[in-house]
Chain A
Amino acid sequence: MTIGVVMSCNKENAPELLPAQGASGPLKFQMRMASDPRLLAVVRSTAAELAAVWGFKDEQCRGIALAIDEALSNVIRHAYKNRCDQEIELHCQAHADCLEFIFVDRGESADPAKFCGQPLDEVALGGRGTHLIRQIMDEVCYERLPGRNRLCLKKFLPGARRKV
């Protein structure tokens, strides 16, 4: 199990108090991790804490954590066919009006139609993850790049511009 974290901060200087900025200023967080389901809880916690720091309310933080978990699970399950030794990148970028999460993997390509949020069959065993992601996040964008999948999820702060 490998996890690497790159944070946007200067590690050379002594710790100092940062001025209270609220939802402003650059905030980045990157993780490079193995496709191991044991890391889901770590990523959920990180996403929820990041959302809280950026001003989302408790319910929204829980929703964001769920959406991120579902997206990561889908990468493990579908892109990497449940292999736990492949690499997944998660880039988190806080903007003035939203939080953006970008997953990059080198697994099999996804079927874009499956991101369209199919109507749920009440007792269907599959398909709920994508449904949850689209319910919770304001923008969902998938693209296949050479040798990679890129999934971008965005959640706007309350009162900010939302998807049309």
Chain B
Amino acid sequence: MKTATRQRPGTTIVDVTGDIDMGTSPGLRKTLLDSLKRTPRLVVNLREVRYVDSSGIASLVEVLKEARNTEKQLVLFGLNKTVQEVLQLTHLTRIFEIRETEEEALRA
């Protein structure tokens, strides 16, 4: 798994690539939490994420909780079928702010 960070006015975008599992989710968690400290809005691009398991979901939940605690915004976009299925199975589709495209995520 790899991440890359981009800046937009008032927003940090983190592009995630690869598989998010037990081995890689700690790194993602750290990247997202570090980015969230420095921005009022964090947008996570999951277009190139092939796979996510419960540890990856847990990392996203943790970042969401931190965003809520600090009154910041977390938006996910680009979820493929695999990621959507995992969110549905874990009943989490409603707690995240999810958009189809980057443009929509930046307007959220």
Contact = CB atoms under 8 A, between A and B. Distances in A.
Interface of A: 37-38, 40-41, 44, 59, 62-63, 65-66, 69-70, 73, 76-77, 120, 122-126, 128-129, 131-132, 135-136
Given A123-B65, A125-B62, A132 B54 contact: yes
B108 to A, nearest CB: 20
Contact of A76 (B22, B54, B58): B22
A132 to B, nearest CB: 6
Contact of A73 (B19, B53, B82, B89): B53
Contact of B55 (A73, A122, A124): A73
7 contacts: A44-B21, A63-B85, A69-B53, A77-B22, A131-B54, A131-B89, A135-B89
Given A73-B55, A122-B92, A40 B23 contact: yes
A62 B53 contact: no
Contacts of B19: 41
Interface of B: 19, 21-23, 51, 53-55, 57-58, 61-62, 64-65, 81-82, 85-86, 89-92, 95
Contacts of A73: 21-22, 53-55
Contacts of A37: 21-23
A156 B22 CA distance: 27
Given A62-B85, A66-B86, A128 B21 contact: no
A4 B23 CA distance: 20
A36 to B, nearest CB: 8
A40 B64 CA distance: 26
Contact of B85 (A59, A77, A120): A59
Given A125-B62, A132-B86, A40 B21 contact: yes
A43 B95 CA distance: 30
Contacts of B54: 70, 73, 128-129, 131-132
B68 to A, nearest CB: 9
Contact of A120 (B55, B65, B91): B91
A37 B22 CA distance: 6
A123 B61 contact: yes
A78 to B, nearest CB: 11
A90 to B, nearest CB: 16
